[in-house]
């Protein structure tokens, strides 16, 4: 039976930035370049050659861009804060804090994001008085906070144990060692993963359209419902999302390259 050399075998990596060309591969027709150039060219040519309806659609959805980025940015910031505390809780020696964090991760990751949106907006909305963008932000932050917690947990555990031991030997308390020594190194480790979560959250933000928020998808749906031009409307929506995610993926890739150079 053939033997597989583990050093020569490639690792399987699944990320939201898989189309980003590696710096060493300076291929003109990389998959990332083909994808983003193709999407941009279509967004430019379609309105030029057929202003009605493509130009009308492009002029109709900018308000949705603002809502999409508002939801995404606020949700990722809140999810990062939640994830930080959850990640610390999962490795904490405090049994209560540890158990709460672990149960939170298991429960939230087991419920689809769309169900959480409906639950927070409709079921809890009448008790918490949550409406519109705030309900969407909280639902997405709670959901992604569980995944961010796993990222922070892995990042903290990736810091060599000798760092904490050295900090304790210098007279720092456990909390001081975590705050001044471990977390700064953890942030550097988890930044690329947080960037990928930001991209994933941007795509999942399209789900807030079910809450009557006028994001990109809902604006496209509104135009399509009025004109019955569903193919054209959803084509533009898909191209806009594609350009946004590929552009952000490139930024994440550049950030990863810079972090590797500084190591």
Predicted pLDDT at 73:
93
Could you tell me the pLDDT band of residue 20, with boundaries at 50, 70 and 90? low
DSSP for 33-86 reads: HHHHHHHHHHHHHHHHH-HHHHHHHHHHSHHHHHHHHHHHHHHHHHHHHHHHHH
> In this predicted model, which residue has the larger pLDDT, 14 or 49?
49
Predicted pLDDT at 1:
44
Q: Domains of the chain: which residue ranges?
A: 31-262
Residues 6+ apart with CB under 8 A from 168: 174, 177
Could you tell me the pLDDT band of residue 237, with boundaries at 50, 70 and 90? very high
> In this predicted model, which residue has the larger pLDDT, 26 or 8?
26
Q: What is the mean pLDDT of residues 77-88?
A: 94
Letter string b/e over residues 168-182, b meaning 16 or more CB atoms within 10 A of that residue's CB: eeeebeeeebbeebb
pTM over 0.95: no
> In this predicted model, which residue has the larger pLDDT, 124 or 33?
33
Q: Is the pLDDT of residue 77 over 90?
A: yes
Q: What is the mean pLDDT of residues 5-30?
A: 51
Give the integer Cα–Cα distance in Å for 89 and 95.
Answer: 9
pLDDT in tens, 36-62: 999 999 999 999 999 889 999 999 998
Predicted pLDDT at 6:
46
Give the integer Cα–Cα distance in Å for 204 and 113.
Answer: 8
Could you tell me the pLDDT band of residue 242, with boundaries at 50, 70 and 90? very high
- Calculate what percentage of the chain has a pLDDT beyond 90: 44
Q: Is the pLDDT of residue 23 over 70?
A: no
Predicted pLDDT at 29:
61
Predicted pLDDT at 22:
55
pLDDT in tens, 124-168: 777 777 777 888 898 899 999 999 999 999 998 888 888 888 887
pLDDT in tens, 170-209: 888 878 888 888 888 888 889 888 988 999 999 998 888 8
Give me the phi and psi of 92, to 5 degrees please: -75, 150
Q: Please give the CATH superfamily to which domain 31-262 belongs.
A: MetI-like (1.10.3720.10)
Q: Is the pLDDT of residue 70 over 50?
A: yes
Q: What is the mean pLDDT of residues 97-115?
A: 92
Predicted pLDDT at 24:
53
Give the integer Cα–Cα distance in Å for 147 and 154.
Answer: 11
Count of CB atoms within 10 A of residue 127's CB? 7
Predicted pLDDT at 163:
81
Residue 103 CA neighbour count, 13 Å, CB half: 6
Question: Average model confidence (pLDDT) for the chain?
Answer: 84
Q: Is the pLDDT of residue 81 over 90?
A: yes
Q: Is the pLDDT of residue 89 over 70?
A: yes
């Amino acid at each position: 039976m053939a033997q597989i050399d583990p050093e020569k075998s490639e690792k399987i990596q699944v990320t939201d930035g898989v189309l980003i060309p590696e710096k060493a591969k300076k291929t003109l027709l990389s998959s990332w370049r083909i994808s983003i150039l193709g999407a941009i060219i279509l967004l430019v040519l379609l309105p030029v050659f057929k202003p009605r309806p493509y130009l009308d659609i492009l002029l109709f959805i900018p308000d949705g861009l603002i809502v999409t980025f508002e939801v995404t940015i606020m949700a990722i910031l809140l999810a990062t804060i939640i994830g930080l505390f959850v990640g610390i809780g999962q490795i904490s020696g405090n049994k209560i804090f540890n158990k709460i964090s672990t149960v939170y991760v298991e429960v939230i990751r087991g419920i689809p994001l769309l169900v959480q949106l409906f639950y927070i907006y409709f079921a809890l909305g009448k008790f918490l008085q949550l409406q519109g963008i705030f309900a969407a932000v909280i639902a997405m932050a709670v959901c992604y906070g569980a995944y961010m917690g796993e990222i922070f947990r892995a990042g903290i555990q990736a810091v060599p144990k000798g760092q904490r031991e050295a900090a304790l030997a210098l007279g720092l308390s456990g909390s001081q060692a975590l705050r001044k020594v471990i977390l700064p190194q953890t942030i550097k480790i988890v930044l690329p993963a947080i960037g990928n979560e930001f991209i994933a959250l941007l795509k999942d933000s399209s789900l807030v359209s079910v809450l009557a928020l006028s994001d990109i998808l809902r604006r496209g749906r509104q135009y399509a419902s009025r004109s019955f031009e569903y193919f054209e409307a959803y084509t533009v929506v898909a191209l806009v999302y594609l350009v946004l995610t590929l552009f952000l993926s490139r930024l994440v890739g550049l950030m990863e390259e810079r972090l590797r150079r500084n190591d």
